[in-house]
Chain A
Amino acid sequence: TQLLEQSPQFLSIQEGENLTVYCNSSSVFSSLQWYRQEPGEGPVLLVTVVTGGEVKKLKRLTFQFGDARKDSSLHITAAQPGDTGLYLCAGAGSSNTGKLIFGQGTTLQVKP
């Protein structure tokens, strides 16, 4: 059974601070995705990483896929209150069957 361990589960920081969210597994994924979800809404895709060691940047967000494609991290620089939300990582297996394995999520609160 493929599992994704996401940490930390909760994070409350002040505006301007940096943070990192981790997503780890003992399984290899063909790709890993990061989503952000607002209360009462569906997750919105932020980025997909496919290649081991890949780094992608989205403004103040930096995403990294581990060399062995078993882990990933999301780093936010100078967090802002608008970054508040639930961040989810999700891994896709080797077969293209539409099944994503989700981590438990990280609830981020950025206080002004």
Chain B
Amino acid sequence: KAGVTQTPRYLIKTRGQQVTLSCSPISGHRSVSWYQQTPGQGLQFLFEYFSETQRNKGNFPGRFSGRQFSNSRSEMNVSTLELGDSALYLCASSSVFDGYTFGSGTRLTVV
């Protein structure tokens, strides 16, 4: 069974730009969650999608948004990038039976 695939693995953007990250969950998993990991704050929950609906949202500004498609693939978007948005962005897909599986993440650097 293929794992969770995140693309791209690495990204360098300039302040003020926007970025879109992609996550393909494990086949059959309908829930996709996104997390931001930084050395100072650790792993923080961004949002979770289930069957194309946002089911929960963390405490991040509105510049962070996401969506989920009918095939369960998810994207997250960050607009007007700031230096502090530099982080490892992780997505996890889950099911009641399999628990959580994380992807390898997208390393975003904002310069």
A residues contacting B by CB (< 8 A) are 33, 35, 40-45, 48, 88, 90, 96-105
- In the bound assembly, the distance between CA atoms of A8 and B110 in angstroms comes to 31
The interface size bin for chain B is 20 to 34
Closest to B49 in A: A98
How many residue pairs bridge A and B at CB < 8 Å?
A: 60
- Listed from nearest, the 5 A-B pairs whose CB atoms lie closest are A42-B102, A98-B48, A102-B43, A97-B56, A98-B33
- Majority SS of interface residues in chain B? strand
Task: Decide: A99 and B104 in contact? CB cutoff 8 A.
Answer: no
Q: Tell me, yes or no, whether B58 is within 8 Å of chain A by CB.
A: yes
Question: 26 interchain pairs (CB within 8 A)?
Answer: A40-B104, A42-B90, A42-B105, A43-B102, A45-B99, A45-B100, A45-B102, A48-B99, A88-B43, A96-B96, A97-B48, A98-B31, A98-B32, A98-B55, A98-B56, A98-B92, A99-B33, A99-B56, A100-B33, A100-B35, A100-B43, A100-B45, A100-B92, A103-B42, A105-B42, A105-B43
